[in-house]
Amino acid sequence: MAPIEDHVYMKCCAELASCLSISIASARRKVELAAAKNGVKDSAARTVIAKRLLEEARSLDIGGNESGAAQLDDLLKILAEEENFMVED
pTM (2 d.p.): 0.66
- Kindly state whether residue 89 falls inside one of the protein's structural domains: no
Each residue's pLDDT tens digit, 12-47: 999 999 888 889 999 999 999 999 999 988 888 999
Q: How far is it, in rounded angstroms, from Cα 46 to Cα 31?
A: 7
For residue 13, the model assigns a pLDDT of 93
Question: For residue 55, is pLDDT > 60?
Answer: yes
- pLDDT at site 49: 94
Contact 47, 9 (CB under 8 A): yes
Residue 39: inside a domain = yes
Query: How much is the pLDDT for 41?
Result: 86
d(CA 72, CA 3): 34
* Residue 73 domain-assigned (yes or no): yes
CA distance 15 to 50: 9
- Total domains in the chain come to 1
pLDDT: which is higher, 18 or 1 = 18
Residue span of the structural domain in which 29 resides: 7-78
Asked if residue 51 belongs to a domain, the reply is yes
Alpha-carbon distance values, 85 to 66, 72, 73, 76, 77 (Å) = 27, 20, 20, 15, 14
